[in-house]
Structure 1
Amino acid sequence: MEEMNLSMLHAFTKSLAMTVLSEAGDRTFCISAILAMRYPRRSVFLGCLFSDIAMTIVSALIGWAAPNLISKTLTHHITTFLFFVFGLQSLWGGLTEDDDDNEELTEVEKELDADLKANTEKSKAASTGDEDLKKHQKPILTHFFTPVFLKAFSLTFFAEWGDKSQLATIGLAAHENTLGVVLGGITGQAICVVAAVLGGKTLASRISERLVTVLSGGLFLVFGITSYLSPPA
């Protein structure tokens, strides 16, 4: 029992650290910050948080199932390789990219502005139609969730899909305590979402993307080294 608790704590700590360093100041962080400036914070917070929770659980389940689909030894080697790749990639990016900490924020803001403009034009065009017809054609999900919640959820989910943090979560769950990885990932995501929603654009613009990238790269390399030195479970 004690060994299981230690295993869960170890997985929780690694997942928490990895998530915070991977998500702080990244694309989804900027999405949360900008949306919170334009829409009700509660809906943005819930949409982003539930999206991150769903993605963390899906990723952890994929990692948990991986050793059952291919050999544990191969899973271990793939995970170790990915940690080294992510670490070196992050370090290289952090040390060689231009020192423009607002580049990600500016890019996301432009995309959201274009999306908002397109939606506004559609709304104006639809306003000339029959209101009753629009109500009948309204997507069923909007009867249970607000449009802002759905917008925040979908933008965050698809921004996370295939992201480095998702693949890292899969790798962690493949040879760490799955529950610990899930709890650590969700806690880390919640911390980042709260910071983004409350801090808004100001906090997002002040986070040093280069520093966070270098730190996350170092953390991934540490994960890679510990994974390499430890035998397959």
Structure 2
Amino acid sequence: RATVSPPNAAQQAANTEFWHGFFGAVSVIVVSELGDKTFFIAAILAMRHSRLAVFGGAIAALAIMTVLSAVLGFATTVIPRVYTHYLSIALFVFFGIRMIREAYYMDPNEGLEEYEEVQKTLSKKELDDSMQASRDALDVESGVVFGVHRRLWGFFSRVFFQALTLTFLAEWGDRSQIATIILAAREDPVAVSLGAILGHSACTLLAVLGGRIVSQRISVRSVTFIGGIVFLCFAVSSVCLGSGEDSLKSL
């Protein structure tokens, strides 16, 4: 009778690393992005435009940023793993303490203030765009039907690219991008990318569906504090799991 051999140690280690990186990326992104500037950008744009266009543009930007960050993190694998291991621990501790300190000194109304700041910034841009759209509406050279379709498609694509560019620029150098680079440097970069994109998708979906309500209900101070704790937990987890250098040598 044929027998099924149990998975070997290498396969078990690979599965553990994959899910550790995946869920680690999801949790880090969620606590980093809730109440963040990119969250408010998606929320405000979704109140004024197509939610689908805003969601698509924001997720496209975040997915691109996530893949770039994972590639940067993976590029550090040319450095001996033990060095990136301890560097990641140091960075997790640094950002964890920094976030807890920010939460301690943060104004309880920080979320609403940032929401209003982003809203004012977008209002001016929306005014300029609406004036341009009004001028374009006077162009009827293609006929009424084709003109309407063209304006609708132009409006949709304009909103999509507006959400994409604003989100991409706001995300560049953000805490979540740095966290993605750190995770990809020591975990499975594919798992980190998938987990980060899932985390971004959840936060962006929440923003476009009920961003204003969420911004009034959640405490950015509490989320920042929890985020700091999560970063410190990852530092402790990294210490407990070790660099994995010995297991790699044994393969």
So what's the TM-score if we normalise by structure 2?
0.81
| Amino acid of the structure 2 residue aligned with 1:81 | A
Match of 1:103 among 107, 113, 138: 113
1:178 maps to which residue?
A: 189
Query: Structure 1 segments of 4 or more deviating over 3 A?
Result: 118-129, 228-231
What is the RMSD of the two structures over their aligned residues, measured on CA atoms? 2.3
In the aligned structure 1, how far is the partner of 2:211 from the partner of 2:101?
28
> 1:51-87 CA deviation, whole Å, 9 max, x = no partner?
111111111111011121x333332232222111111
1:208 maps to 2:219: yes
SS for the counterpart of 2:107 is coil
Alignment of 1:42 onto 2:52: yes
Which residue in 1 is equivalent to 2:32?
22
Identical pairs, percent: 38
Question: How many aligned residue pairs are there?
Answer: 222
8 Å Cα contact 1:29/1:204 also seen in 2: no
Cα deviations across residues 29-72 of structure 1 (Å, max 9, x unaligned)?
Answer: 1110000001111100111111111111111111011121x333
Other-structure match for 1:93: 102
TM-score (structure 1 length as normaliser): 0.87
Matches within 5 A, 1:65-144: 65-68=75-78, 70-100=79-109, 101-121=111-131
Deviation at 1:117, TM superposition (A): 2.6
Aligned to 1:155: 166
Q: Give the match's secondary structure for 2:63.
A: helix
1:43 and 1:149 in contact (8 A); partners too: yes
Q: Distance in 2 between matches of 1:21 and 1:200?
A: 16
Inter-partner Cα distance in structure 1 for 2:114 and 2:64: 24
> For residue 115 of structure 2, what is the amino acid of its counterpart?
L
The answer for the alignment partner of 2:232 in structure 1 is: 221
CA–CA distance in structure 2, aligned partners of residues 115 and 89 of structure 1: 33
Unmatched tracts of structure 1, length 5 or more: 133-141
User: What one-letter code is carried by the residue in structure 1 that aligns with 2:19?
Assistant: L
Give the counterpart of 2:73 among 43, 63, 67. 63
In 2: Cα distance, 1:12 partner to 1:128 partner: 51
Letter in 2 for 1:20: V
* CA deviation after TM superposition for structure 1 residue 197, in Å: 0.7
Q: Which has the larger Rg? A: 2
**What letter matches 1:93 in structure 2?**
E
Q: CA deviation at 1:159?
A: 0.7
